[in-house]
Structure 1
Amino acid sequence: MRTVQRQGTNDHPLRGGVLLPVRDLVVAWSLIVVIAALAWVLTVGQARDMGVGPGTMGMALPLFLLLWLAMMAAMMLPSVAPVAVTWAKGIARRSSGAVRALRTTEFICGYLIAWTAFGLLAYGGLALTGSLVERDADVGKWIGAAAFALAGLYQLGPLKDICLRHCRSPMAQLMRYASYRPRLRDLRVGLHHGAYCVGCCWALMVLLVPLGVMNIAAMAGVAALIFLEKLWYRGPLLARVAGVAFLVLAVLAPFQDWLLPGLRTPMAPM
């Protein structure tokens, strides 16, 4: 059987001595791809029934968090797959294939828990903006401008750069966690990496306020931007270019209603 081998005698699970069968790499990637694909199917199906509109569109918190979890799995897992597979490589030597798959799933669960926690804040923000737009539809254009401006400024700020650097090169943190006690370690690693990912991408999710939280085209665009930021070698430059573009959209938003489908009332079908 072909294997991926790293030389060395150190027993550190993320250093030398790791033998990972190619089959196990395929399993790890396939697991993530399948979860993301199923999440996209669920999200698209629900979005077709709901359309695009302001606020929470009448969703109670439990239903919103369920859909938010599916959205985050669809949008974020493709970009986090390399990190999850890297962690799978690190635990490969000491685990069977089934245990490895279970531990990779635990990592993904920790990652999605971080984004679900952010979903609580997202629900509150959407409820507030929906209430404001319901009272005065003209407020929507200023909310949209503020959302684009916030996303643009954050893209150009230092905290974005710090979190993006971690998401692009997480090995130092993974090695630190590899020395922790095994109990719930994979969940904690996923949660920790997910927190950095929230720090990197939360402002991009704010764009869904003016664009529509169930706007599939907007979700796909944001997911593509996140994927390129994290995995393309010019990702940091792309993040800054996107920041400038968002600031331009912030200036245009009060005068261009087509930029604000998620802040229009009544709800319009996609």
Structure 2
Amino acid sequence: MPLNLRSLFWLAFFGIVLWAWWVMFSMATGPMMMPSQYMSLFLMWSIMMAAMMGPTFVPTMRAYEDLITSADGSRSGSLGVVLGFFAVWVGFAAIIAFAQNTLVGFGLLNAMGASVSTALSSGLLIAAGIYQFTTLKGRCLAHCRSPMMQFIAHWRPGFSGGLRMRLHHGAYCVACCWGLMVIGFVGGTMDLLWMGGATLMMTLEKLPDIGRWFTKPLGVALIFWGVTVAAF
């Protein structure tokens, strides 16, 4: 594979991620108000998914890059891998945008997407913390931490193959990370500290050597935070 194509691919990938972070930063720090209509919320969450999940996807893309030279992977396949992954997260964006719109309608979130209910804030934090200890979380993390093994086990060549494989991987990724996404409602979905912190936590969790020492302590911290919110 020509080096220039590889370089252009990675430049485009990181360019999209940086653009998504710039949009989120502009919305969080500028005079722009939080969108109130569902389609606007959906667009906002879709861009946020690119910003937050893009960095967590780098090890997976590096694994596929290795297969381009050592197996029958292709550049069109890598494009399918990226599109399949983000297609699943755009689907999640549709769901969480609907949830935000509904919670605002019930008066549980303010205009900035932050909870005004102690019960909701505490419940989200405790639920996210408990999920860190579940078997499902463990299975999804094991999947996300071994992208090369998953490619080999479910290998499909070409663009359509990459798309199918990453739709499968994306579903595991959503099941792995949804808890850390929904706690954005605690402090507000435009909170850059939450966005950066959640991105870092999701990235660390997926690293095999670090994540296994990180997942359960994070669960303990979330539960403690939730109980503290409920108590005080």
Q: CA deviation at 1:185?
A: 1.3
Bigger drift between 232-241 and 163-172 goes to 232-241
Alignment match, 1:129: 103
> Over aligned residues, Cα RMSD in angstroms?
2.8
1:80 to 57, 70, 76: 57
Unmatched segments (≥5 aa) in structure 2: none
Which structure 2 residues correspond to residues 148-187 of structure 1 after superposition, within 5 A?
A: 148-178=125-155, 180=156, 182=158, 184-187=160-163
Residues 28, 85 of structure 1: 8 Å contact kept: no
Tell me whether 1:32 sits opposite 2:9 in the alignment: no
Deviation per CA, 1:10-40, whole angstroms, max 9, x where unpaired? xxxxxxxxxx677666555433322211111
Q: CA deviation at 1:135?
A: 9.7
Task: Give the direction of change, closer, same or farther, for the CA distance of 1:148–1:108 in structure 2 (3 Å limit).
Answer: same
Tell me whether 1:142 sits opposite 2:119 in the alignment: yes
Q: CA deviation at 1:127?
A: 2.3
Tell me whether 1:228 sits opposite 2:209 in the alignment: no
Alignment match, 2:28: 47
Task: Give the direction of change, closer, same or farther, for the CA distance of 1:115–1:185 in structure 2 (3 Å limit).
Answer: same
Task: Give the direction of change, closer, same or farther, for the CA distance of 1:135–1:184 in structure 2 (3 Å limit).
Answer: closer
1:219 to 176, 195, 198: 195
Unmatched segments (≥5 aa) in structure 1: 1-19, 257-270
Tell me whether 1:241 sits opposite 2:217 in the alignment: yes
SS at match of 1:184: helix
SS at match of 2:154: helix
Letter in 1 for 2:193: A
Alignment match, 1:254: 230
Deviation per CA, 1:201-244, whole angstroms, max 9, x where unpaired? 00110111112111111100000111111126121221111100
Task: Give the direction of change, closer, same or farther, for the CA distance of 1:183–1:26 in structure 2 (3 Å limit).
Answer: closer
Residues 145, 251 of structure 1: 8 Å contact kept: yes
Letter in 2 for 1:228: L
Counterpart-to-counterpart distance in 2, 1:168 and 1:29? 21
Counterpart-to-counterpart distance in 1, 2:55 and 2:108? 36
Counterpart-to-counterpart distance in 2, 1:183 and 1:22? 20
Task: Give the direction of change, closer, same or farther, for the CA distance of 1:232–1:47 in structure 2 (3 Å limit).
Answer: farther
Counterpart-to-counterpart distance in 1, 2:91 and 2:109? 28
Deviation per CA, 1:144-189, whole angstroms, max 9, x where unpaired? 00000110000111111110111011223211332x3646111112
Counterpart-to-counterpart distance in 2, 1:68 and 1:199? 17
Q: CA deviation at 1:94?
A: 5.1
Counterpart-to-counterpart distance in 1, 2:129 and 2:32? 26
Letter in 2 for 1:60: Q
Residues 147, 206 of structure 1: 8 Å contact kept: yes
| Length-normalised TM-score, structure 1 | 0.74
Letter in 2 for 1:81: V
Letter in 2 for 1:71: M
Letter in 2 for 1:235: G
Residues 51, 215 of structure 1: 8 Å contact kept: no
Q: What is the percent sequence identity of the aligned residues?
A: 30
Q: CA deviation at 1:112?
A: 0.9
The higher radius of gyration belongs to 1
SS at match of 1:234: helix
Q: CA deviation at 1:194?
A: 1.0
Alignment match, 1:202: 178
